[in-house]
Amino acid sequence: MIAFTMIGLWTLCNTAINGQQAEQGSDDPLVWLEDVTGEAQLAWVRERNQKTTAWLEADASFQQLKTDLLSILDSDARIPAVSKHGDWYYNFWRDRRNPRGIWRRTTWEEYLQPEPAWEVVLDLDALSKSEGENWVWGGANFLRPQNERVLISLSRGGADARVVREFDIPSKSFVAGGFELPEAKGNAGWIDPDHVFVQTNFGKGTMTDSGYPRICKIWKRGTPLTEAQTVYEGLSTDMSVQAIHDATRGFERDFVIRNLAFFNNEMYWLDGGELRKVEVPNSASKQVAFEYLIIELREPWEVGDSKYAGGTLLITKFADFMAGQRQFDVLFEPTDNSALAGFGFTKNYLVLNVLEDVKNRLYVFRLRQPQWTREPFVGAPELGSVSVGAIDAEESDAYFMNSTDLLTPPTLFWGTIGQEPTAIKSTPSFFDTTGMRVEQHFATSDDGTKIPYFVMLPANVTFAGEIPTLLYGYGGFEISMLPRYNAAAGRAWVSQGGVYVLANIRGGGEYGPRWHQAALKQNRLRAYEDFAAVAKDLFARRITSPERLGIQGGSNGGLLVGNMVTLYPELMSAAVCQVPLLDMKRYNRLLAGASWMAEYGNPDIPEEWAFIQKYSPYHNVRSDRKYPAVLFTTSTRDDRVHPGHARKMMALMEQQGHEVWYYENIEGGHGGAANNEQSAFMQALAYTFLRLKLFPMDRPSTPGHSQR
């Protein structure tokens, strides 16, 4: 079974930009900070890191908070997520004894036990020590149906760029002379024991402008990579290409995906050596499973005499479609308050996961029936965020179901479609929820659109407009912010008397493609108007005030935070801006930035720069405006969003005399941390900063900054 969605492209992998090359032709005086590992640049980083940690670590509660957060991340009571391969259930696990992690496996009978007995397959801490590397786990690709050989991906420090090495599970060792790829953004996948599809950096001119592979090849065991045979070659202006083998028994097929941009791809079936295009709109997501082709439309589609709306899910027989038939069954159509959150297969069923006003609802279709009839999903929770996945779609209708909400820790259920599921594991509460509650409200944005948001409230709250409140958002790439259990926010914020708010602004996927498309390119400001509307609604409800409001976001959410700071500084007193995009004039020239132009636009085109400039925080910060205090965090090893964004914004605001703080983790990639210790430290920095700025009893004068 092969799914072709764009979000998976975030996991592809490149090398850091050369700062001297970036400097050519630039009139930006701070462009020198884009040299990621330059001696002067790292000295600049260390100086600001020291200043920030000296202040925040000196807080009396910092060490205890960090310890508590680390205990959550390291807890043995967490549910170990497993995937079934053959007779074994595999899990990757990090804790205080294994900071870099262990890849391990167990049997089904053992997994059901409160404390399963695990067999360690690969110890990353031991491997890192023996090889003198700071390896971070990147995943394992199994050779089916044997399930004894895997292609393991590892990155240095958590970067997107990875090495791929063949590993033998029975001997628990890497295969001497086996398949091995040098560090690059790319990957490899099995075709059969002696052949793999590979897309990587094959040398000069083989990568796209976005820094991803543009050529995919078949590589035969025992031959040098230079002799691999080209399957498909894209253009340098494409985002990436990838060849994939579907190993489903009885339905073995090969495909090539040409990704032109996010939510814009072409799909080809490699039929006996001939590439045959699957004539589906580029914007649609495509999945081939068993005998079916499933199409999730993102835009309206007219085919024959039929018209289908964006957000609709269609299904047909793959063979019939490739033979020219264009008859589809409609499995889902969006409404004003609903959108498709996802779908998946078991052996005999297709399961729909639908969002209704950002609440999950599950439905079931039986495969291979004359009529597609939607049935209730037996045993699905009525409330909370729910996800379902098949345990082994080729073998049975068994599934895992995970249920959670902002106050309820995850519970893992096991079941078979059509029967009541059984709770087999649950996570304990990591903070006291006594008296706490969650509410959903709707704010009204500038254009009249209703914007949902969730509020996690502490016990015995009094609405007087003075509660320290943290507002979190993302608003991009059709990614939905669902109300899932957040132990860190609960422990570090709500249990201390603060309010936590999760905003479902446009640009995300909470109401499907239309919600995302409403905030693309020239309409990007709508996402920020939505976020501002939520803040104002919190004020109107007398939950908080600008003096007690802080905001937080990372990556595209960091761009959100940057714009809220520069466009709406009067709405908040503190902001945490994590691994952010901020310089929208140069973003497409830095690392993977060129791949996001379908989202933001092309700043090299004057007509598009005219609207992009309006939401480029780096170009909108002013020395004569009063801004909230800002903490910027990033990672030297982030090879997706260049750390130069945070560095330059920090330097510019610092030069202008604004209150800004900075911390750059040396490891961690785009996630900001390479292990639980680093994650706990970074979280403790952020929450301590916010508490010192927003809780009235903890507002001493800030060292090293003038009070503007």
pLDDT band at 26 (very low <50, low <70, confident <90, very high): confident
**In the predicted structure, residue 698 carries a pLDDT above the cut 60:** no
Query: Which pLDDT does position 22 carry in this prediction?
Result: 43
Residue 453 and residue 547 in one domain: yes
Question: Is residue 707 domain-resident?
Answer: no
Q: Are strands 469-472 and 499-503 parallel, antiparallel or unpaired?
A: parallel
Query: Which pLDDT does position 684 carry in this prediction?
Result: 97
Residue 52 and residue 139 in one domain: no
Question: Is residue 704 domain-resident?
Answer: no
Least confident range from 113-127, 549-563, 661-675: namely 661-675
pLDDT band at 7 (very low <50, low <70, confident <90, very high): very low
252, 277, 302 — which closes off a domain? 277
Indicate the helix (H) or strand (E) that contains 108.
Answer: helix 108-111
Cα separation of 69 and 430, whole Å?
A: 9
**In the predicted structure, residue 157 carries a pLDDT above the cut 90:** no
Q: Would you give the distance in Å from CA 91 to the centre of its chain?
A: 20
**In the predicted structure, residue 128 carries a pLDDT above the cut 90:** yes
- Which amino acid type is present at position 569? P
Question: Is residue 404 domain-resident?
Answer: no
Least confident range from 147-156, 366-375, 442-451, 577-586: namely 366-375
CB 255 within 8 A of CB 268: yes
Q: Are strands 162-168 and 149-156 parallel, antiparallel or unpaired?
A: antiparallel
Query: Which pLDDT does position 106 carry in this prediction?
Result: 98
What mean pLDDT value characterizes the chain?
93
Q: Would you give the distance in Å from CA 367 to the centre of its chain?
A: 31
**Tens of pLDDT along 556-601?**
999 999 999 999 999 999 999 999 999 999 999 998 899 999 999 9
CATH number at residue 246: 2.130.10.120
- Which amino acid type is present at position 326? R
CB 597 within 8 A of CB 589: no
Q: From its phi and psi, is residue 315 left (phi > 0), alpha (psi between -120 and 50) or beta? A: beta
CATH number at residue 495: 3.40.50.1820
DSSP 351-367: EEEEEESS-EEEEEEES
Question: Is residue 405 domain-resident?
Answer: no
**In the predicted structure, residue 674 carries a pLDDT above the cut 90:** no
Token pair, residue 579, equals 């691994």
How much is the average pLDDT of 70-95?
95
Question: Is residue 149 domain-resident?
Answer: yes
Residue 373: closest CA among 350, 399, 394, 356: 350
Query: Which pLDDT does position 671 carry in this prediction?
Result: 62
pLDDT, greater one: 219 or 96: 219
Residue 139 and residue 52 in one domain: no
Query: Which pLDDT does position 667 carry in this prediction?
Result: 60
Place of tokens 């959903």: 440
Residue 539: closest CA among 487, 469, 478: 469
- Which amino acid type is present at position 476? G
**In the predicted structure, residue 1 carries a pLDDT above the cut 90:** no
pLDDT band at 19 (very low <50, low <70, confident <90, very high): very low
Cα separation of 455 and 493, whole Å?
A: 13
Q: Helices (H), strands (E): how many in the chain?
A: 15, 40
Residue 185 and residue 52 in one domain: no
Least confident range from 51-55, 129-133, 284-288, 633-637: namely 633-637
pLDDT, greater one: 451 or 158: 451
**Tens of pLDDT along 463-502?**
999 999 999 999 999 999 999 999 999 999 999 999 999 9
Place of tokens 């499973």: 289
Residue 53 and residue 198 in one domain: no
Residue 521: closest CA among 504, 502, 509, 506: 506
Residue 49 and residue 180 in one domain: no
Query: Which pLDDT does position 505 carry in this prediction?
Result: 98
Cα separation of 113 and 583, whole Å?
A: 51
Question: Is residue 432 domain-resident?
Answer: no
Cα Dmax for the chain:
73
Question: Each residue of 176-215: b (16+ CB within 10 Å) or e?
Answer: eeebebebbbbbbbbbeeebbbbbbbbeeebbbbbbbbbb
Cα separation of 210 and 240, whole Å?
A: 8
Vertex 235 angle, CA 234 and 238, to 5°: 90
Cα separation of 433 and 454, whole Å?
A: 16
The model's pTM is: 0.90
pLDDT band at 21 (very low <50, low <70, confident <90, very high): very low
Range of the domain at 261: 134-277
Query: Which pLDDT does position 672 carry in this prediction?
Result: 53
Question: Each residue of 14-37: b (16+ CB within 10 Å) or e?
Answer: bbbbebeebeeeeebebbbbbbbe
Cα separation of 619 and 621, whole Å?
A: 6
Query: Which pLDDT does position 382 carry in this prediction?
Result: 83
Residue 448 and residue 571 in one domain: yes
Cα–Cα distances (Å) from 704 to 305, 657, 659, 661, 686, in that order, read: 69, 11, 9, 10, 18
pLDDT-above-70 percentage for the chain: 94
β strands within 357-436, DSSP E: 360-366, 374-376, 385-390, 398-404, 411-416, 422-426
Question: Each residue of 639-650: b (16+ CB within 10 Å) or e?
Answer: bbbbbbbbbbbb
Query: Which pLDDT does position 550 carry in this prediction?
Result: 98
- Residue count of the chain: 708
Place of tokens 């089904």: 108
Cα separation of 685 and 683, whole Å?
A: 5
Residue 165 and residue 52 in one domain: no
Query: Residue 331's CB: how many other CB atoms inside 10 A?
Result: 20
Cα separation of 18 and 3, whole Å?
A: 35
Residue 559 and residue 464 in one domain: yes
Who contacts 129 (Cβ-Cβ below 8 Å, separation ≥6)?
Answer: none
pLDDT band at 16 (very low <50, low <70, confident <90, very high): very low
Residue 175 and residue 52 in one domain: no
CB 160 within 8 A of CB 12: yes
β strands within 114-186, DSSP E: 119-123, 135-142, 149-156, 162-168, 173-174, 180-184
226, 253, 277 — which closes off a domain? 277
Question: Is residue 400 domain-resident?
Answer: no
Who contacts 154 (Cβ-Cβ below 8 Å, separation ≥6)?
Answer: 124, 133, 135, 136, 137, 138, 162, 163, 165
pLDDT band at 673 (very low <50, low <70, confident <90, very high): low
Residue 28: closest CA among 556, 658, 663, 649: 649
Residue 544 and residue 641 in one domain: yes
**In the predicted structure, residue 140 carries a pLDDT above the cut 60:** yes
Question: Is residue 125 domain-resident?
Answer: no
Cα separation of 617 and 567, whole Å?
A: 8
Query: Which pLDDT does position 9 carry in this prediction?
Result: 36
Counted domains in the chain: 2
How much is the average pLDDT of 176-186?
95
Catalytic (active-site) positions? 555, 670
Cα separation of 503 and 646, whole Å?
A: 23
**In the predicted structure, residue 450 carries a pLDDT above the cut 60:** yes
277, 303, 337 — which closes off a domain? 277
Cα–Cα distances (Å) from 83 to 87, 111, 147, in that order, read: 11, 11, 12
**In the predicted structure, residue 665 carries a pLDDT above the cut 80:** yes
Query: Which pLDDT does position 383 carry in this prediction?
Result: 79
**Tens of pLDDT along 632-663?**
999 998 888 999 999 999 999 999 999 999 99
Residue 156 and residue 52 in one domain: no
Question: Each residue of 48-66: b (16+ CB within 10 Å) or e?
Answer: bbebbeebbeebebbeebb
**Tens of pLDDT along 331-355?**
999 999 999 999 999 999 999 999 9
Cα separation of 139 and 151, whole Å?
A: 8
Who contacts 43 (Cβ-Cβ below 8 Å, separation ≥6)?
Answer: none
**In the predicted structure, residue 707 carries a pLDDT above the cut 70:** no
